[in-house]
Amino acid sequence: MHWFRYLLGFECIFLLLSVVLCGAGKMGESLLQRFSDDLARIVDDVKESVVTIVTEIPQMLSLFGYQAVTGYGSGFVVAPGYIATNAHVVRDAARVAVLYHDGVSEEAEVIAVDPYRDLALLKVDRAVKPLPLGDSDSVRVGEIVLAIGSPLGLPGPSVTLGVVSAVGRTIVGENIVLEDLIQTDAAINPGNSGGPLVNVRGEVVGVTTAIIPYAQGIGFAIPINTVKRFIEMLKRFGRPVRAWIGVFVAPINPRMAYAVGSPVSEGVVVVRVAPGSPAHVAGIREGDIIIKAGGKPVKSVRDLRLAIEDSIDKGYVELEIVRKRTRFVVEVPIAVEEL
């Protein structure tokens, strides 16, 4: 039966549920109608705070100077007058405009960009109610989610339905490595980037991104807790900064630990060390498992990132590492750069 469970997609499950409920007569119809009404209510509650972002990007022509190329993306209100979106949506834009669900548009100012988190924050004059921000650390595989945005630049909002397929994903795109992502089967197309991934309580749990061109039938979202941290760092330093040590990591689980013969089943495994980085100089290697950072257990990519950012004032972060069957502690200098 295991193969059947894995092959049975969400759409098949929903179809079977529909058949069973329809077989139950009016009770089944009532349950399906209630489910449909609840989804429609969620969309009604959040659509006012979801925007279409229109950009003009100068493109050089070989003989005739420049021409403006129009791009599209999505965003959502995180605080009155502030909109979150993806960094790649507004990258190189000479002009950014925001189009609201009621057709009103206005110019927006890009006040912060973090290309390493693929996040940007825009300032607008219109005060629209912010969306409630959930806790992405509590997101579970199998949860129903809605991706809301403006796919392909079409007037929004447009809504797709799916489930959380996985959490803690690390993916490599063009000139970017994104860590700790939420994976979903909700359709995320160009133009959806920067829109909210919403749970059934109407809370934002992620920021959808279509930056990975080879993703077929799967989508990714940046956890909303990463957005909260992005905003917190802005408040703390007055500008976006990046604190890093030069490692790319992925969570380790008991199955992975068994496969590689690791004596520990929790932590993050180093999948890449940037040459010349503080981690490289400190002797960290690919395959090392980080189990503690700053004296706190590390179970996710986010745990490590938070420990590094919390240690900025000290100038280094203390890591406890397992290499094969040897444990040791190393102090790794923290590099801080303004973005």
Do 85 and 116 lie in a common domain?
Answer: yes
Q: What is the mean pLDDT of the chain?
A: 86
Q: pLDDT value at position 125?
A: 96
The reply to whether 248 and 321 lie within a common domain is yes
pTM of the model: 0.79
- Say if residue 314 is in the same domain as residue 332: yes
**Tokens standing for residue 164:** 């959380």
Burial class (CB in 10 A: 0-12, 13-18, 19+), 108: buried
pLDDT tens digits, 96-140: 999 998 889 999 999 999 988 899 999 999 989 999 999 999 999
Instruction: Name the phi and psi angles at 128, rounded to 5.
Output: -110, 145
> Does residue 4 sit within a domain?
no
- Confidence at residue 238, expressed as pLDDT on a 0 to 100 scale: 87
Q: Are residues 90 and 33 in the same domain?
A: no
Residue 309, in any domain of the structure: yes
- Segment 166-175 mean pLDDT: 79
The answer to whether residue 118 is catalytic is yes
Looking at the fold, whether 32 and 66 belong to one and the same domain comes out as no
Residue 131 lies in a domain: no
Of 57-71, 92-106, 158-172, 317-331, the range with the lowest mean pLDDT is 57-71
Of these residues, 49, 74, 88, 303, which one is catalytic?
A: 88
The fraction of the chain above a pLDDT of 90, given in percent, is 55
Parent domain of 39:
9-47
Q: Is 101 a catalytic residue?
A: no
CA within 13 Å, CB half, 35 = 12
Same domain, 52 and 39: no
Could you say which of 74, 158, 165, 193 is catalytic?
A: 193
pLDDT for the residue numbered 214 = 59
The model's confidence at residue 10, banded by pLDDT at 50, 70 and 90, is very low
The tens digit of pLDDT for each residue in 184-210 reads 999 887 788 899 999 999 999 999 987
Is the pLDDT reported for residue 24 higher than 60?
no
From the list 118, 180, 185, 303, the catalytic residue is 118
Q: Look at residue 3 and tell me if it is in a domain.
A: no
Mean pLDDT of 264-268: 89
54 and 35 within one domain = no
Is 2 within a domain?
no
The answer to whether position 182 is within a domain reads yes
CATH at 265? 2.30.42.10
153 and 214 housed in the same domain: yes
Q: Work out how many domains the chain is built from and give that number.
A: 4
Residue 111 sits in the same domain as residue 194 = no
Same domain, 90 and 178: no
pLDDT at 253: 78
Section 18-24 average pLDDT: 52
| Of 271, 265, 323, 263, nearest in space to 298 by CA | 265
Q: What is the structure's pLDDT at 16?
A: 46
Does the structure show a pLDDT above 80 at 25? no
**95 domain residue, yes or no:** yes
Contacts of residue 58, defined as CB under 8 A and 6 or more positions apart, other chains included, come to 66, 67, 68, 69, 92, 94
Average pLDDT over residues 42-64: 87
Range of 126-135, 165-174, 202-211, 250-259 with top mean pLDDT = 126-135
Token readout for 201 is: 């309580």
Tokens for 90, please give them.
């507004």
Same domain, 156 and 215: yes
CA distances from 83 to 77, 173, 196, 232, 289 (A): 4, 24, 11, 15, 37
Please report whether residue 1 resides in a domain: no
The yes-or-no answer on residue 92 being catalytic is no
Work out the angle between the directed axes of helices 10-23 and 26-46 (0-180°, nearest 10).
Answer: 130
Among the three residues 233, 256, 290, which one is the final residue of a domain in this structure? 233
Statement to judge: residues 61 and 145 lie in one domain: no
Tell me the pLDDT band of 13, cut-offs 50, 70 and 90.
Answer: very low
